[in-house]
C-alpha cells in the first residue's frame, strides 16, 4: 500500500506540471496574438501639425498659408490664400481676436482659416467664383480595407455674414489641384442642407471611412461645383466689409486627425457623426447688467470717458465701472481681460500706446475697488479692431471704446 502511494505522488506532480505548463503556453500565445494585433493597428494621428501649432513664420498678412508660413500644409488650388492665425501673430492675425472675428483655439494657440464660399458679388458684371482649400500630405499612405476615423473642428468666423454647408475631407493618392468649377466626391462631409450658421462655436465633424489603399493626400473644404453651392446669408450687416472686401462664408479649422482603427467590413461603415459643442470658454453664461455674458465674448463698457488724448478716467465713468466691480464680486471665480481701442486719428504707435494706457487705468480702478490683480488682465489694440467706419464722427466715437471679456 505504501508503494502505491509513493508511486502515485510523482505521477500526480507530473500531471500538475503538464497542466500548468499548458496554461502558461496558452497564455503566452494569447498575449502574443494581442501584441501582434496591437502592432498591426497604427493608432497615431496620420496628420502632421494637426492643430497648426508649428510654424515657419508667425502670420502678419492674409494668405500666409499660401506663402508656406506653416510646415506640411499648403493652399489648394495654389492661387487661393487660406489664412493662419496664432496667439503671437501680428495685428489682425492673433488668437482669439483677428480680422475675421473673435475665437479661441480649440486647442493650443493657433488655427487655420478658409474662405469656403463667397456671397453674391460681381466684378465687371461677373460672379466671383472663388473658394479655398487646405491640403496636407499624410505621414504614410492609408492601408487598403483598413478603417480610419477622420475628424476636424470647424467654427464660423463671427464677422462672416454668410454660412455654408457640406464642408468635408477629400483623399487622393496624389496632390490633385482643386478646380473651382468642378465637383468632387469627398469621403467625409457634413450633412446635406445642414448650415453651420452659429459663430463662436467649435463643431466636431467626424466619420469613419474604409481606405481604398494608397491615399496619401488629404484636402479640406467645400467640394461641390460652384454653381450648386450651398450658402445662405445670415446677417444683413455691412460693418465688416472693410475687413473682408466682399461678403463671405469664412470658417476656422482646428484639430484635424486621421487615425487607423482596424480591418473592417466595408458594408458596415458607421453613419456620420456630427457633434456640436461650444469651446470651453463659451460654456459659462450669466445674465447680468451687461446682458447675457459668455466666456470669450467681448462686452463694450458704455459711458467710459477719459481726458482728451490721455488715459485719466473722468468721474462720469465710475457708474459703469462700479457695475463691473459688482459683477466681479458676485462671481469671484471669473477672470477678465480689459481691452482698449481707439479710432484711426493720429499715428498707429500713439493709438496703440494710448489704448494700452487706458485699459491699464480701468484695471487700476478695479483693483482699488477690491478686485484682486490675479483676476485681471489688460491689453491695448490701438486702431486695428474698429467696429464701425472711421470715416464718420459717429463711427469714430464707437471705435473709441473699452471692452472686457471673460477668460
pTM of the model: 0.56
Across residues 264-286, what is the average pLDDT? 43
pLDDT digits (tens, 9 = 90+) for 239-251: 655 555 456 788 9
pLDDT digits (tens, 9 = 90+) for 345-370: 888 889 899 999 999 999 999 999 99
CATH number of 73-280: 2.60.120
Question: How would you label 84-103 residue by residue, b for 16+ Cβ within 10 Å and e otherwise?
Answer: bbbeebebbbbbbbbbbbbb
Which residue, 167, 148, 175, 231, is CA-closest to 205? 167
* Among the ranges given (267-271, 333-337, 375-379), the one the predictor scored with the smallest mean pLDDT: 267-271
* Cβ contact 296:281 at 8 Å: yes
CATH number of 284-406: 3.30.1330.60
- Give the model's pLDDT for residue 299: 87
Dist CA 8 CA 198 (whole Å): 81
Q: Quick one: pLDDT band at residue 72, thresholds 50, 70, 90?
A: very high
More confident residue, 359 or 163: 359
Residue spans of the domains in the chain: they are: 1-40, 73-280, 284-406
- Cell 468635408, residue located: 168
Amino acid at each position: 500500500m505504501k508503494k502505491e502511494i509513493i508511486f502515485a505522488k510523482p505521477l500526480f506532480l507530473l500531471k500538475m506540471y503538464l497542466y500548468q505548463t499548458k496554461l502558461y503556453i496558452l497564455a503566452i500565445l494569447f498575449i502574443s496574438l494581442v501584441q501582434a494585433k496591437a502592432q498591426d493597428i497604427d493608432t497615431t494621428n496620420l496628420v502632421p501639425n494637426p492643430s497648426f501649432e508649428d510654424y515657419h513664420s508667425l502670420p502678419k498678412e492674409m494668405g500666409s498659408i499660401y506663402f508656406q508660413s506653416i510646415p506640411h500644409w499648403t493652399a489648394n488650388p495654389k492661387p487661393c490664400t487660406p489664412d493662419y492665425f496664432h496667439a503671437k501673430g501680428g495685428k489682425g492675425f492673433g488668437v482669439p481676436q483677428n480680422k475675421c472675428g473673435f475665437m479661441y483655439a480649440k486647442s493650443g494657440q493657433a488655427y487655420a482659416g478658409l474662405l469656403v464660399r463667397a456671397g453674391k458679388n460681381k466684378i465687371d458684371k461677373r460672379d466671383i467664383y472663388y473658394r479655398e482649400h487646405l491640403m496636407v500630405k499624410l505621414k504614410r499612405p492609408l492601408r487598403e480595407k483598413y478603417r480610419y476615423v477622420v475628424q476636424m473642428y470647424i467654427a464660423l468666423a463671427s464677422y462672416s455674414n454668410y454660412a455654408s454647408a457640406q464642408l468635408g475631407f477629400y483623399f487622393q493618392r496624389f496632390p490633385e489641384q482643386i478646380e473651382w468649377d468642378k465637383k468632387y466626391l469627398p469621403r467625409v462631409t457634413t450633412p446635406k442642407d445642414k448650415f453651420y450658421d452659429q459663430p463662436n462655436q467649435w463643431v466636431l465633424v467626424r466619420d469613419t471611412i474604409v481606405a481604398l489603399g494608397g491615399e496619401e493626400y488629404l484636402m479640406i473644404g467645400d467640394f461641390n461645383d460652384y454653381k450648386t453651392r450651398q450658402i445662405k446669408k445670415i446677417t444683413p450687416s455691412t460693418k465688416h466689409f472693410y475687413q473682408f472686401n466682399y461678403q463671405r462664408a469664412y470658417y476656422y479649422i482646428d484639430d484635424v486627425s486621421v487615425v487607423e482603427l482596424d480591418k473592417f467590413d466595408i458594408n458596415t461603415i458607421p453613419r456620420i457623426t456630427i457633434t456640436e459643442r461650444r469651446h470651453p470658454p463659451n460654456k459659462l453664461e450669466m445674465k447680468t447688467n451687461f446682458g447675457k455674458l459668455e466666456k470669450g465674448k467681448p462686452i463694450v463698457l458704455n459711458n467710459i470717458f477719459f481726458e482728451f488724448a490721455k488715459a485719466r478716467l473722468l468721474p462720469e465713468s465710475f457708474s459703469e465701472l462700479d457695475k463691473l466691480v459688482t459683477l466681479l464680486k458676485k462671481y469671484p471665480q471669473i477672470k477678465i481681460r480689459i481691452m482698449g481701442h481707439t479710432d484711426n486719428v493720429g499715428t498707429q504707435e500713439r493709438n496703440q500706446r494710448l489704448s494700452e494706457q487706458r485699459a491699464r487705468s480701468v484695471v487700476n480702478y478695479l483693483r482699488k475697488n477690491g478686485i484682486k490683480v490675479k483676476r485681471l488682465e489688460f491689453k491695448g489694440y490701438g486702431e486695428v479692431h474698429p467696429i464701425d467706419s472711421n470715416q464718420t464722427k459717429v463711427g469714430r466715437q464707437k471705435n473709441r471704446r473699452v471692452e472686457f471679456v471673460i477668460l
